[in-house]
Structure 1
Amino acid sequence: MSGHNYAPPGKCRVFAHRGANREAMENTRNAFDKALRYAIDGIETDVQLSRDEVAVLWHDRFLNKAGLNDKKIDDFDYPQLQTLINPDSENEGIMTLRDFLMTYRQCCHLLIEVKNRDWEPFTRHQTKMRQTLDLIGNDPDQTILVSSFNLASLEYAHCYRVEVPLIYNFEPDQTIADVRRLLITHAFLHGFCLPISSTDQAIVNLLHDYRKCVGVYTCNSDTEITKALQLGVDILISDLPDKALLLRDQ
């Protein structure tokens, strides 16, 4: 039943979702720096792959948040992506995963979601995952978690680097029956990240019985944050980390 050095449930850790994304453009240095002004426990971010296979921080496939509604992240090589400056980003280009890790791995815990979706060939999924794990490198204290909605990518990651703590992200339509099955078939998983809307005490208790880390996304309202805290989850992901911290610590 054991996970990778899983610690029993304690104080819920608050992770800033793509940085302080209500105060600065998401997944930018400015958003991460603003998040660190609060007493956050961690930062969550997203990894995509440029056309020339550079791991970059970007949530969507399309580049509408950079002002290019009909263009995709994988239409461009990284040097081209660097030139796509959105005025809302305070003149920041798209950040590489390498630069993110170099800057922030010593500041707090990190949750890196590898965005492997069906529109991309699995060979690119593998490349993205290998790059992510290689860039993380040696992490004996396991301060960096790697997550994905793509189970096959996590299976591949486990074979590639068995020591890395891996988190499976649940879709809203997945249930406790899926949890029970995965606890048997994918016992290597360090934990699960669940949508707060469909998370209940039974799922949290089951995962904790198996010593799995429980995260929830994305908790923004007072009701959502309070629910997560009352459920006793390990990681609370929020667009409003300052609010989450206030409710947790009051």
Structure 2
Amino acid sequence: MTAPLIYAHRGASGAFPENTMRAFEEARKAGAAGIELDVQLSKDGQVVIIHDETVDRTTDGMGYVQDHTLPQLKKLDAGSWVAPSFSDERIPTLNELLQWMTEDGNSITVNIELKNDVTQYKGLELKVLALIDTYQIEDRIILASFNPLSLKQVRALNPTIETGYLVIGKADYAVELTTEIGADAIHCQPAYALSPYAEEAKQAGFPLRVYTVNERDELERLTKAGIDTFMTDHPALLK
């Protein structure tokens, strides 16, 4: 049996501040095949890596990401909420992350979630694709979103980049909508992967990437069900 592919969810977020360069580098060192991260736009239109629509939970700041300029976001402490030793961590830009990907010895794949299902970031897809094109690493990128219209826009702008449609729970519409928007895979929770809908997805030719799997017994159960790609907060443990 082929070993499963492990993607580090927001980097090695089980032990390091999520969506920071430290978390990404630690995931790479742990041998993860890929990392998953989230992007939004700052007030001045820069693509930044952060999960929540506000900075409140993961930094020492307050307010919406879209209401802060990049210089303002860069002043925020994005690590102390985990431990004082991470106080130097900052909110990364997608440009910084893509540059890191081109360093010698770095062959990691990156799953970029377009966080435009709650806040509508006009032009996010185009900005992300332009940055990817700058570094010529499309073959190591997956673009994902809960927003089917966003992925449809990605496909209109770029017919070849890999995309994944994110669903919650036992989404009986997943195969139909994934087909309609031209996505390549379904990103789902274990409940979907272990349901009859998983077979429907397989028959339609859509691989499943399952989030967020943090227990070895769950990993083994899903692997036996034919799933081969997982997102986890603990890449070293699951490896």
Residue equivalent to 2:183: 189
- Structure 2: distance between partners of 1:31 and 1:15: 12
Which amino acid in structure 2 is aligned with residue 136 of structure 1?
A: I
Q: Which residue of 2 aligns with 1:114?
A: 114
Structure 1: state its 5+ residue gaps.
1-8, 246-250
Q: Which residue in the other structure is 1:4 paired with?
A: none
In the TM superposition, what is the alpha-carbon distance from 1:10 to its structure 2 partner? Answer: 5.4
1:73-222 to 2 correspondence within 5 Å? 73-86=65-78, 87=80, 88=83, 89-104=86-101, 106-118=106-118, 120-121=119-120, 124=121, 126-137=122-133, 138-139=136-137, 142-172=139-169, 174-175=171-172, 178-182=173-177, 184-186=179-181, 188-200=182-194, 202-222=196-216
Q: How does the TM-score come out when normalised to structure 2?
A: 0.88
Distance 1:159 1:165 in 2: 13
Q: Over aligned residues, Cα RMSD in angstroms?
A: 2.0
1:96-144, CA deviations, whole angstroms, 9 ceiling, x for partnerless residues? 00110110254311111111123x23xx2x411111111111446x221
Distance 1:95 1:23, change over 3 A: same
- The 3-state SS of whatever aligns with 2:92 is coil
Query: Percent identity between the aligned chains?
Result: 25
Deviation at 1:34, TM superposition (A): 1.1
Shift of 1:80: 0.6
| Aligned pair partner of 2:11 in 16, 19, 36 | 19
Distance 1:19 1:114 in 2: 16
TM-fit CA distance, 1:235: 1.6
Residues 35 and 57 of structure 1, relative CA distance in 2, 3 Å threshold: same
Q: What is the TM-score when the length of structure 1 is the normalising length? A: 0.84
Taking the aligned partners of 2:153 and 2:178, their CA distance within structure 1 comes to 17
Q: Structure 2 vs 1, CA of residues 54 and 243 (structure 1 numbering), >3 Å: closer, same or farther?
A: same
Equivalent of residue 227 in structure 1, options 212, 217, 221: 221
Shift in alpha-carbon separation, 1:147–1:204, aligned structure 2, 3 A: same
Could you say which structure has the greater relative contact order, defined with CA pairs below 8 angstroms and 6 or more residues apart?
1
